[in-house]
C-alpha cells in the first residue's frame, strides 16, 4: 500500500497576521462601545439607588421617630443604615449633609450636584417634605 502525499492548504504568515490584526481591531471597537454602555448603566443604577436611599431615609426617620442624617461625600452616599458607593464616573463638587427630623422632613433647602462625563445632575431638596426635583443638564463639551 502506497501513501499519497496530500497538500494541506494553510495560511501563510502574512495572511495569519492580517487576520489576527483585523480580529483584534474588531474586538477593540466592540469593547470600547461596551465600556461606554456599562458606564451609563452604572450611573443610572447609582442615581436610582441614591433616590431610593433619600426617600427611604425620610420614611425611616418618620417611622422610628428619630433624627437621621444623609451624607454625600466624594466616595459615597451614606446614612446610619446604608451606604451607596459613587461610581468612578460620578463626581460631587462638595460634601453635603441632609438632616431628617423625627417627622421625616429634611431641614435644608440643599441643592445636591453630581457631575458625570456628559451631564450635570441636580437635586433640589424641598424643605420639610422629603421631596426633591431632579434636573439633568447635558454638557456642551465632552472630555
Tens digits of per-residue pLDDT, 66-103?
888 889 999 999 998 899 999 999 999 899 888 888 77
Is 60 exceeded by the pLDDT of residue 142?
no
Q: Give domain 13-138's CATH number out of 1.20.950, 1.10.10, 2.40.128, 3.55.40.
A: 3.55.40
Secondary structure of residue 91 in the 3-state scheme: strand
The residues with which 60 forms a beta bridge, in sequence order, are none
Residue 82 has which C-alpha cell?
Answer: 446604608
User: At a CB cut-off of 8 Å and minimum separation 6, what does 78 contact?
Assistant: 70, 71, 84
Query: Rounded to an integer, what distance in angstroms lies between the CA atom of residue 77 and that of residue 54?
Result: 9
pLDDT (average), residues 118-137: 84
Among residues 125, 133, 134, 136, which one has the least CA distance to residue 57?
A: 125
Helical segments of the chain, H only: 13-64
Average pLDDT of the chain is: 85
pLDDT at 129: 67
Model confidence, pTM: 0.75
- The per-residue pLDDT for 8 is 61
Q: Where are the domains of the chain?
A: 13-138
Amino acid at each position: 500500500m502506497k501513501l499519497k502525499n496530500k497538500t494541506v492548504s494553510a495560511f501563510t504568515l502574512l495572511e495569519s497576521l492580517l487576520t489576527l490584526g483585523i480580529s483584534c481591531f474588531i474586538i477593540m471597537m466592540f469593547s470600547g462601545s461596551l465600556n461606554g454602555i456599562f458606564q451609563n448603566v452604572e450611573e443610572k443604577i447609582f442615581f436610582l439607588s441614591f433616590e431610593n436611599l433619600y426617600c427611604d431615609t425620610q420614611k425611616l426617620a418618620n417611622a422610628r421617630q428619630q433624627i437621621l442624617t444623609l451624607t454625600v461625600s466624594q466616595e459615597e452616599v451614606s446614612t446610619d443604615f446604608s451606604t451607596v458607593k459613587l461610581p468612578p464616573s460620578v463626581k460631587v463638587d462638595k460634601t453635603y449633609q441632609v438632616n431628617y427630623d423625627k417627622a421625616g422632613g429634611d431641614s435644608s433647602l440643599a441643592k445636591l450636584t453630581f457631575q458625570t462625563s456628559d451631564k450635570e445632575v441636580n437635586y433640589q431638596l424641598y424643605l420639610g417634605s422629603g421631596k426633591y426635583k431632579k434636573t439633568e443638564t447635558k454638557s456642551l463639551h465632552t472630555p
